[in-house]
């Protein structure tokens, strides 16, 4: 679509979402706006990095798995399970900017308990800052605990600068729009260039046997099922 000259930016507009970065030790944020409930799969993308793909079997509005939409991820990657991935926007006091906060489930559970006494933390007048600690408990990446510092969480109204920062805040449904099933299928088809590239069913079977010679029957079935999903025509010919 053509635009008026005075509407032009002169270059591509960046739509990168600013994410809140958790740090070791003490953290503080002020949650604002609406909460986005969702579950996601983590799938290896075209650049080799894991990317989130929303589970379309999960209904954002009702927070239930109602299976009303086709979930193609399970067809392509039957061994992958979706995980809890709620998100909300927050004001980061470090720079005063509004960012997306990808909530941690254990932290969210503690916030909900504290909200029984302190009220809605997102309310502009009576809300409260979320003070918490991120603590490493071991050498692995998942060895992390999030501890709400409830005694530091005090009710306070947003100041003028914070009110201005959220004046044009968008709904999380617009910040992280729900993809259509067709869009997910198109992406999954682009990602189907996975471990086996041979077009010959006998060679596929032979290579599977070599790759999984020391694997369990369970893992062999998973691999065969993935190949059947990725190359249905080739496998059945």
Low-confidence spans in the chain with pLDDT less than 70: 1-15, 193-237
Tokens of 205: 């079977």
Return the percentage of the chain with pLDDT > 70, whole number: 74
For the chain, domain boundaries: 15-188, 195-236
CATH architecture for the domain at 15-188? Alpha-Beta Complex (3.90)
pTM to 2 decimal places:
0.72
């Amino acid at each position: 679509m053509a635009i008026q000259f005075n509407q032009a930016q002169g270059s591509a507009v960046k739509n990168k979402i600013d994410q809140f970065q958790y740090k070791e030790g003490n953290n503080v944020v002020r949650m604002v706006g609406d909460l986005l409930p969702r579950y996601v799969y983590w799938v290896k993308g075209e650049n080799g990095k894991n990317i989130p793909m929303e589970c379309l079997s999960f209904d954002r509005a009702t927070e239930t798995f109602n299976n009303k939409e086709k979930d193609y991820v399970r067809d392509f990657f039957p061994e992958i399970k979706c995980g809890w991935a709620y998100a909300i926007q927050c004001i980061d006091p470090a720079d005063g900017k509004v960012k997306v906060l990808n909530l941690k489930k254990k932290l969210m559970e503690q916030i909900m308990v504290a909200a029984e006494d302190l009220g809605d933390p997102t309310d502009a007048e009576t809300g409260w800052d979320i003070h918490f600690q991120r603590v490493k408990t071991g050498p692995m990446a998942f060895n992390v605990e999030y501890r709400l510092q409830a005694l530091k969480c005090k009710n306070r109204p947003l100041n003028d600068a914070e009110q201005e920062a959220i004046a044009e805040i968008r709904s999380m449904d617009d910040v992280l729009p729900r993809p259509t099933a067709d869009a997910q299928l198109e992406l999954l088809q682009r990602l189907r260039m996975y471990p086996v590239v041979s077009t010959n069913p006998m060679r596929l079977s032979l290579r599977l046997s070599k790759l999984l010679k020391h694997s369990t029957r369970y893992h062999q079935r998973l691999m065969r099922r993935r190949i059947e999903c990725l190359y249905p025509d080739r496998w059945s010919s």
